[in-house]
Each structure stands twice: as C-alpha cells, then as structure tokens.
Amino acid sequence: MDENTRTRIGNVLLEVLEKQAFLFVDPGEDPDLASVDVYLAASVGFAGAAAGRVSLAVPSAMAAELASNFLGCEPDDPAAAAQAADACKEILNIVCGHILTELYGPTPVFDLGDLEAGPLAATEAADWSAAEGGMAFSVEGSPVLLRVDIPGGVPPGPQPCGPQACGPQA
Amino acid sequence: MAYNILVVDDSETMRAVIAKSIGHAGVPLGSLFQAANGAEGIEVLHREWVDLVLADINMPVLSGVEMVARMKADPALVDIPVIIVSTEGSATRLQALMDQGVKGFLRKPFTPEELKKAVETVLGAHHG
C-alpha cells in the first residue's frame, strides 16, 4: 500500500473519530503502543468490487470513552462500559463504509459482513502496526490502530493536493 | 403534530445516538420505537402506528434493503416513509433503494441538523 493511500485511509479514520466520537488525533505524535496491555479490536469483512477486511483496535479505556461520547454519559458510567464493544464496532462500521468510498468511488456496491469485536494483546497490536495495511495513530494520548487488508491491492487514487500540484497557476 | 418514529439499527449505541439526535433536532416526537433488525422492525410496524422509519442497511436477520422490500409488498406498510441511515456510500445501491420507494438518505456520521433536515424534508413532503 503506497503512502498516498495510507494517508487517505488515515484521514477517513480521523474525520470519523472527530465527527462521531469527538476524539482528536495528536498531530506529529508517535503512538506509544507499549503503553497499553490489552486493546479492544473490532473487525469487519467486505465483498463486492473488491474483497477484504478492515479492523480497528483501541485501548479498552478509550472504547468506554467512545461509548460515553456516543451516549452522552460519563466514561465511568456502567452504560459506557456495557456499550464499549458496540460503540467500537459502530465506529468501525462507519470507517469501513467511508474507506470503501474513498478507495473505490461512489459507483461499486459492497456488502459488509458481520461486525466482530474482542480483545487484542499488545504483542498482536505490534504485529498489526507492522502489517502491510497497518497504521497507528496517537489519539488524545492513546494509541489507535487501523488495519486494512485487501489481498488484491487497492486502486491508485488522486494524489494529495499540495501547493505545487494545485496552487494558483502562474 | 407529533410524529411516531421507528429506529431500526442493530447497534444499540447507534439507536441511542439517533434517539438523542432526534431530541436535539427538535423534531416533534410522539413515541420513539426501536428495533434491532428489519424483522423486528416489521413486527413493530404491524403493532404500532408509525409515521416514519429510520433504518440502517447492514443488519443481521433482515437487512434494511430486505425490510424496505417487505414494506413495499405489504399494503398496510407501503405508504410509511423510510429514511436510510447508514454508512453506505454507493450511489448505485442508494438509487436502487430510492427506486424501491425509500424517501431519504442520511450518511453516518451525521449531525442533528442533518437529521432534522432529512426528517422535515420527508415528513413535509409526505404530509404537506
């Protein structure tokens, strides 16, 4: 996966986290993967114009924060803990839908599989981060991992709009 | 006039978000019903008076697409307007749903204002 594609996919995650969960990325900060013992990981497969899987892992405490932001309650509210996995799955559901549109455009039809969630050990999280489609972000001081596995590869997309490419013409 | 609204989504968290957004948007609400999949949604529609359905697409048991198809084949349910609330980004699938009779579409994530606009557009057209 090329750097441009990784940037586009990462931007989708960050936009969804901001808009749906009110969580913001720490620009320029490297995520400290070792600071978390166990992550809550959600995963969903997709099929259609291409087939693959998108997965998201967040620290357990952040999963409860996701749920509390969804529900409008405090992170230590029992309702937030009870809905942590569901909130993580729903964020992934949204992220997956937007990644598919970002990569393949608005025409193809994709079917999503069942959303799954479960614990992910820190050692496995390191493997995720090092994988071909693995990405790690620092979000409000906590590591967040995203993994996009598309065996057939991703189509080339538009290049980032930098000043030389898209600036005013002389 | 207050509206009875049915929210169909397999995520309990998302149902809570939609319910909260309806409240924040100031949509006049009579009763709010919830269902975890299309089959449960159809049951509610046969049991309760519902003015508007907000339905997800990807759900176990019976998807939103299948639910809409059953509603359109049922004379008792055919006129109830449906807004799809989903992560779906395929214009091809959305057009197919609109052709089936779906009245509106709201892509997740959405703001309360976007939800209000979609509800007002659909109910205004339906009852106007």
pLDDT of residue A164: 42
- Answer whether residue A156 is part of any domain: no
Pick the closest to residue B112 from B19, B5, B13, B15 (CA basis): B19
Query: pLDDT band for position B53 (50/70/90)?
Result: very high
Say yes or no: B14 contacts chain A, CB-CB below 8 A.
yes
Mean pLDDT, rounded, for B48-60? 96
- A97–B contact, CB cutoff 8 A: yes
Q: Domain extents for chain B?
A: 3-127
Query: What count of other Cβ atoms lies within 10 Å of the Cβ of residue A95?
Result: 27
CA distance A128 to B51: 46
Judged by average pLDDT, the poorest of A41-50, A161-170, B71-80 is: A161-170
Question: Is residue A34, in this structure, part of any structural domain at all?
Answer: yes
pLDDT at A168: 39
Pairing of strands B52-55, B82-86: parallel
Mutate to test the interface with A, among B7, B87, B93, B115 (most CBs of A within 10 A): B87
**Residue numbers of the domain that contains A54:** 3-151
What ipTM, to 2 d.p.? Answer: 0.90
Structure confidence by residue, pLDDT tens digits, B69-104: 999 999 999 999 999 999 999 999 999 999 999 999
Of A24-38, A51-65, A145-159, minimum mean pLDDT range: A145-159
Contact B17 A101 (CB under 8 A): no
Strands A134-139 and A116-121: unpaired
CB A86 to CB B13 under 8 A?
yes
Q: The tokens of B39 are what?
A: 């089959």
Cα R_g (chain A), whole angstroms: 16
Length of chain A equals 170
**What are the structure tokens assigned to A56, written together?**
């998201």
Does B37 score more than 70 pLDDT? yes
In this structure, how many other beta carbons lie within 10 angstroms of the beta carbon of residue A169? 4
Q: Closest CB to B11: pick one of A86, A98, A101.
A: A86
Closest alpha carbon to A128 in A147, A152, A154: A147
At residue B128, the pLDDT reads: 52
Q: Is the pLDDT of residue B31 over 90?
A: yes
Architecture of domain B3-127: 3-Layer(aba) Sandwich (3.40)
Q: Which residues of A touch B91 (CB under 8 A)?
A: 106-107
Residue keyed to tokens 């030389």: A164
For the beta carbon of residue A136, count every other beta carbon within 10 angstroms: 20
C-alpha separations of B85 from A6, A10, A45, B27 in Å: 27, 24, 20, 16
CA atoms within 13 A on the CB side of B39: 4
Q: Quote the pLDDT of residue A166.
A: 41
Query: What is the number of domains present in chain A?
Result: 1
Quote the pLDDT of residue B125: 63
Q: What are the start-end ranges of the E strands in A20-72?
A: 38-48, 52-59
* In contact, B55 and B26? CB cutoff 8 Å: no
Give the range among A149-158, B8-17, B38-47, B50-59 with minimum mean pLDDT: A149-158
With cut-offs at 50, 70 and 90, classify the pLDDT of residue A28: confident
Distance CA A19, CA A22 (A): 6
Instruction: Identify the band that residue A27 occupies on the pLDDT scale cut at 50, 70 and 90.
Output: confident
Q: Is residue A170's pLDDT more than 80?
A: no
Across A95-100, average pLDDT: 96
The CATH code of the domain that includes A38 is 3.40.1550.10
Task: Report how many Cβ contacts below 8 Å link chain A to chain B.
Answer: 61
Beta strand B29-35 pairing with B3-8: parallel
Q: Which long-range contacts (CB under 8 A, 24 or more apart) does A73-81 make?
A: none
Residue A165 lies in a domain: no
Contact yes or no for B108 and A109 at CB 8 A: no
Virtual torsion, Cα B109, B115, B119, B120, nearest 10 deg: -140
Confidence (pLDDT) at A169: 37
Query: Looking at the domain assignment, is residue A158 inside a domain?
Result: no
Q: Which residue has the higher pLDDT, A152 or A17?
A: A17
The answer to whether the beta carbons of residues A26 and A100 sit under 8 Å apart is: no
* pLDDT reported for residue B127: 56
As a whole number, mean pLDDT of residues B106-124 equals 91
Counting residues of chain A whose pLDDT is more than 70, the rounded percentage is 92
Q: Is A60 part of any domain?
A: yes
Q: Which of B13, B60, B89 sits opposite A98 (nearest CB)?
A: B89
Residue A22 CB partners (closer than 8 Å, separation 6+): A69
**Residue B60: cis peptide before it, omega within 30 degrees of 0:** no
Q: Give the minimum alpha-carbon distance from B12 to chain A in angstroms, rounded to a whole number.
A: 7
In a domain, A14, yes or no: yes
Rounded to whole angstroms, the Cα distance separating A120 from A85 reads 12
Q: What is the mean pLDDT of chain B?
A: 93
Structure confidence at residue A15 as a pLDDT band (50, 70, 90): very high
A167 located within any domain: no
Q: What is the pLDDT of residue A26?
A: 86
